[in-house]
Chains A and B, each alone.
Chain A
Amino acid sequence: DTGVSQDPRHKITKRGQNVTFRCDPISEHNRLYWYRQTLGQGPEFLTYFQNEAQLEKSRLLSDRFSAERPKGSFSTLEIQRTEQGDSAMYLCASSRGTLYEQYFGPGTRLTVT
């Protein structure tokens, strides 16, 4: 396993700008998750993909957020019109299926100024 990778590792943007993050899961994993982690908190679930289908979204995912997973491989998370409250670590995880552990990537730390 080469592990879950995320790009970029850090992103600083100005309020109102759009940002896009990429996650490359472990190759044979069909399930992909996005979580958000703010300072002093545990990760919170954002959205879930099984292959290319986005099957669940959290209420935390406002309409400024959109996620895709074309062809069931890598995934992107886009935030439009960023706000300071979007500053957080965005974590991606993948798993092989039911009752398999989720492997987490190193995260993308977003700072909105």
Chain B
Amino acid sequence: AQSVTQPDIHITVSEGASLELRCNYSYGATPYLFWYVQSPGQGLQLLLKYFSGDTLVQGIKGFEAEFKRSQSSFNLRKPSVHWSDAAEYFCAVGARSNFGNEKLTFGTGTRLTIIP
């Protein structure tokens, strides 16, 4: 069964500083990988996804992530954070099961706090 580990429960960074959120996954085949963001009272919004091809993927809001098969990682990065980036970030792995179900398995999330 697939699993996702987000080792950092809470990260605090200064506005304008760079950001890296860690994600490690466990899956037997080539994974589909996602990063979602959740703001208070809001649903999950997809930041970016990796299915195949270029291992560096660009997403919305200036985020990018790099798939490293050798390290089973899919870390999220942003060169300069804005106060509006404060939210909960979830890494997820998607795996096709029977009947075409592409259910997502999420990590426990990393809460990002931005300080002025």
Q: Which chain A residues have a beta carbon within 8 Å of chain B's beta carbons?
A: 4, 31, 33, 35, 40-45, 48, 50, 55-56, 91, 93, 95, 97-99, 101-107
Report the minimum CB–CB distance from B111 to chain A (whole Å). 9
Q: For chains A and B in complex, what number of residue pairs have CB atoms within 8 angstroms? A: 67
B34 contact set on A, CB distance < 8 A: 101
Closest A residue, CB atoms, query B96: A98
Question: B4, B105, B106: which has the most chain A beta carbons within 10 Å?
Answer: B106
Residues of chain B touching chain A, judged by Cβ–Cβ distance below 8 Å, are: 4, 32, 34, 36, 41-46, 49, 51, 90, 92, 96-109
Q: Known pairs A33-B103, A104-B44, A106-B43; list 5 more (Cβ under 8 Å).
A: A41-B109, A56-B97, A95-B102, A97-B100, A101-B49
Q: A102 to nearest B CB, angstroms?
A: 7
Residues on the B chain within 8 Å of A31, using CB: 100, 102
Given contacts A42-B106, A43-B104, contact A99 B43 (CB under 8 A): no
| Residues of B contacting A35 in the complex (Cβ-Cβ under 8 angstroms) | 104
Given the known A-B contacts A91-B43, A104-B43, A104-B44, are A45 and B103 also in contact in the complex, defined by CB atoms under 8 Å?
yes
Which A residues are in CB contact (< 8 Å) with B42?
A: 106
Contacts of A106 in B (CB 8 A): 41-43
Q: Provide the bound-state CA to CA distance between A93 and B103, in Å.
A: 10
Q: Contacts A101-B34, A107-B43 given: A55-B104 contact, CB under 8 Å?
A: no
Measured CB to CB, the nearest residue on chain B to A58 is B103
Contact partners of A40 in chain B: CB under 8 A:
108-109
